[in-house]
Structure 1
Amino acid sequence: MTTFQRPVTLVTGATGGIGMALARALAGTHDLILQGRGGERLDSLCAEVGGRPLSLDLTRPETFAPALADLGRVTNVVHNAGVVELGAVAEQEHPAWTHTLAVNVVAPAELTRLLLPRVREERGTLVFVNSGAGLRANPGWASYAASKFALRALADALREEEAPHGVRVSTVYPGRTATPMQQSVRAQEGGAYQPDAYIAPETVAATLRFVLEAPRDAVLTDVTVRPGGR
């Protein structure tokens, strides 16, 4: 990457709460490729921030290579997309596990594999948006926590593998964040959704931007972001 080229940053799950906040935070300083399932929401966000839409079904990794073929440069990848379905191990059947692991682990692994040649060429950064569930598994959270523990393992192994290529790999662990996903989680838990008690998505986005733009003499391997007092 020359000094005259802006970084090209690909963000998955761009139409979610954190993804949308990150796209807005990076607009104007990064060229953006914004992944979603397509549709008006993704098109509207791309029009707002000057991003390029990337329509992908993250449960179908066999479709990734053709969709990525003409992307051109990619400096950074932020693996932000994720799904969560709560349930006890004794009650949650295999489709929930398969879907959760496909979106939260298999898709990031395959996207990383396909995009690594571009990221290596740019000496870029891969960021995995994890969760507090990637550090501790609580009752009812087995499938989601298992996927986030696996995502942490993916990032840790990748960091060591890619260090010789000048690629930085970071994991960010946000606590409960005021997003539509959190609203869905609270409904599954049978509790009230209180956005003022959670981290603002813009705060997580600012953290992710700092990780991406940190000076080259440092790699922020693991960053935990927890709700603070207000």
Structure 2
Amino acid sequence: MVAVSSAAGLLGIFGYSAYAPAKFAVRGLMESLRAELVPHGVHVGVVFPPDVDTPQLAEENRWKPEETRVVGGTNKPLTAEQVAAAIVRGIDQRRFMICPAPGPRALARFGGVLMPFLNREFDRRVRAVHRSTSTTKA
């Protein structure tokens, strides 16, 4: 059994306050199911893809706040085929956390340690956008 969360289920990002809680919930659900089903030999996994090149992402990018763009950086979206291949590998290897890209993989493994540094960097980027915006309005 595998469910799809998102990289947004590993880290709260500016602009995703309506989206991220559901993805964090998928992670919590799958962690609970894993604990309950492992004794019965059932494999449970959860996928944390970053941006995936889909029509949904294209539409999202039309409306995404600048703060979200600068926090997200310039990561190239994965193809749906790349994510599907990572899911199949994760199932074959019976992994719980299936991370199709290095960024979510690092967050899944080291998120607790990385969070203070990431939050500080993201806050810096958001402040820079706000400074830039306030000087262009003046």
For Structure 1 versus Structure 2, the TM-score category normalised by the shorter chain is: 0.5 to 0.7
Q: Does structure 1 residue 206 correspond to structure 2 residue 85?
A: yes
Structure 2 counterpart of 1:220, one-letter code: R
Equivalent residue number for residue 27 of structure 2: 152
| Cα-to-partner distance string for 1:159-193 (whole Å, 9 max, x where unaligned) | 0000111111111111111011111211121679x
Aligned length: 96
Once the two structures are aligned, what percentage of the paired residues are identical? 33
Tell whether the 8 Å contact from 2:30 to 2:46 is kept in structure 1 after alignment: yes
Q: Does structure 1 residue 171 correspond to structure 2 residue 50?
A: no
Equivalent-residue separation in structure 2 for 1:128 and 1:136 (angstroms): 18
| Cα-to-partner distance string for 1:11-60 (whole Å, 9 max, x where unaligned) | xxxxxxxxxxxxxxxxxxxxxxxxxxxxxxxxxxxxxxxxxxxxxxxxxx
Equivalent-residue separation in structure 1 for 2:91 and 2:101 (angstroms): 19
Within a 5 Å distance, the mapping from 1:41-56 to structure 2 comes to none
Q: Does structure 1 residue 132 correspond to structure 2 residue 7?
A: yes
Cα deviation, residue 128, structure 1: 1.2
Q: With a CA cutoff of 8 Å and minimum separation of 6, indicate the structure with the bigger relative contact order.
A: 2
Cα deviation, residue 227, structure 1: 7.0
| Cα-to-partner distance string for 1:58-80 (whole Å, 9 max, x where unaligned) | xxxxxxxxxxxxxxxxxxxxxxx
Within a 5 Å distance, the mapping from 1:4-43 to structure 2 comes to none
Cα deviation, residue 209, structure 1: 1.3
Within a 5 Å distance, the mapping from 1:91-106 to structure 2 comes to none
Within a 5 Å distance, the mapping from 1:84-123 to structure 2 comes to none
Out of 173-182 and 148-157, give the one that drifted further: 173-182
The residue matched to 1:171 in structure 2 has which SS? strand
Tell whether the 8 Å contact from 1:133 to 1:145 is kept in structure 2 after alignment: yes
| Cα-to-partner distance string for 1:106-134 (whole Å, 9 max, x where unaligned) | xxxxxxxxxxxxxxxxxxxx111111100
From the superposition, tell whether residues 169 and 204 of structure 1 become closer, same or farther in structure 2 (CA, over 3 Å). Answer: same
User: Which runs of at least 4 in structure 1 moved beyond 3 Å after TM superposition?
Assistant: none
**Runs of at least 5 residues in structure 1 that lack an aligned partner in the other structure:** 1-125
Equivalent-residue separation in structure 1 for 2:95 and 2:91 (angstroms): 9
From the superposition, tell whether residues 181 and 203 of structure 1 become closer, same or farther in structure 2 (CA, over 3 Å). Answer: same
Tell whether the 8 Å contact from 1:175 to 1:227 is kept in structure 2 after alignment: no
Give the number of the structure whose residues are more often helix, by fraction.
Answer: 2
Equivalent-residue separation in structure 2 for 1:132 and 1:212 (angstroms): 18
Give the alignment's Cα RMSD to 1 decimal: 2.2
Tell whether the 8 Å contact from 1:177 to 1:201 is kept in structure 2 after alignment: yes
How high is the TM-score relative to the length of structure 1?
A: 0.38
